[in-house]
């Protein structure tokens, strides 16, 4: 008499299937993290400081809403007719308006109908971080940004943006009030006098800046290589930075840029 082999029970078959699945998953190759996207090195500039300040050309140079939404965008500038300041970080537009000469009102928007008399912008998909190992005072910020950009392998012979996030000392910023300016033209000192000026001894903020060695009178003031704005969250405020001290340990972010290989 021939013996029939014993069939495995359903529970045994179930465990065999589970073990096979676990083994196949374990043997699958791990997917590598996606490579960062390279910055295209493009900076767009609408309007210019010199004709805006000295010739009174404060009309609309670009409609801000035409550039949004864009989650990679960073930008700084002034609203048309110098009605306030515009700062864009990660595609969020922070518009700051003077209220009564002593205070400002800041709105965070993803879309707007406002226009800018001056706007400097870049689209940066990925950033590289550099940590400060020493304090940086405002009077040295141009040189320090240049040195740190070299560490991040950013081409410093051209324009580039940067972000600084952290806690700062002696932060001062202003929001322009075009209603208080002379129509026939003005200078940087006149603009400060016609602005709402704000300050904090200590503040947590995000700074967005643009560096250039060849844009004085375009988007940097004479004698300066940087144009910096700040955004503070609590309470919400934003504007043009006039002074800031940056402590050691602060992270500065530069556009991810892979230098070409020279053969």
The pLDDT tens digits of the residues spanning 21-78 come to 444 444 445 555 567 888 888 999 999 999 988 888 999 999 999 999 999 999 999 9
Q: Considering only CA atoms, which of 118, 148, 145 is closest in space to residue 213?
A: 145
What is the rounded CA–CA span in Å between residue 126 and residue 114? 28
- What's the pLDDT tens digit per position in 218-245? 999 999 999 999 999 989 999 999 999 9
Q: Considering only CA atoms, which of 95, 96, 56, 60 is closest in space to residue 80?
A: 60
Task: Residue 207: count other Cβ atoms within 10 Å of its Cβ.
Answer: 26
Q: φ, ψ for residue 41 (rounded to 5)?
A: 65, 20
What is the rounded CA–CA span in Å between residue 201 and residue 215? 31
Q: Considering only CA atoms, which of 203, 206, 130, 199 is closest in space to residue 167?
A: 203
**Which tokens belong to 45?**
């500039």
Contact yes or no for 72/91 (Cβ under 8 A): yes
Whether pLDDT at 262 is above 80 = no
Per-residue pLDDT, 91: 95
Q: Could you tell me the domains of the chain?
A: 43-255 (3.30.1330.80)
Ranking 4-13, 115-124, 162-171, 244-253 by mean pLDDT, the lowest is 4-13
Per-residue pLDDT band for 263 (boundaries 50, 70, 90) equals very low
């Amino acid at each position: 008499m021939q013996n029939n082999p014993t069939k495995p029970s359903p529970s045994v078959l179930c465990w065999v299937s589970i073990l096979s699945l676990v083994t196949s998953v374990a043997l699958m190759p791990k997917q590598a993290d996606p490579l960062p996207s390279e910055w295209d090195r493009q900076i767009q500039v609408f309007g210019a400081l010199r004709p805006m300040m000295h010739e009174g050309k404060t009309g609309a140079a670009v409609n801000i809403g035409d550039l949004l939404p864009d989650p990679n965008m960073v930008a700084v500038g002034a609203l048309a007719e110098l009605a306030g300041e515009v700062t864009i970080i990660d595609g969020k537009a922070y518009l700051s308006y003077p209220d009564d000469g002593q205070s400002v009102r800041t709105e965070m928007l993803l879309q707007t109908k406002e226009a800018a008399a001056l706007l400097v912008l870049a689209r940066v998909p990925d950033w590289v971080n550099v940590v400060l190992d020493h304090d940086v005072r405002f009077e040295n910020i141009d040189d320090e940004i240049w040195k740190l950009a070299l560490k991040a392998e950013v081409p410093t012979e051209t324009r580039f943006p940067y972000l600084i996030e952290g806690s700062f000392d002696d932060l001062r910023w202003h929001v322009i009030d075009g209603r208080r300016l002379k129509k026939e033209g003005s200078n940087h000192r006149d603009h400060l006098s016609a602005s709402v000026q704000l300050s904090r001894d200590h503040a947590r903020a995000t700074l967005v800046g643009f560096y250039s060695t060849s844009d004085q009178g375009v988007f940097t003031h004479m004698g300066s290589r940087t144009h910096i704005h700040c955004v503070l969250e609590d309470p919400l405020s934003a504007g043009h930075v006039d002074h800031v001290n940056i402590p050691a340990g602060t992270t500065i972010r530069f556009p991810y840029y892979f230098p070409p290989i020279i053969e």
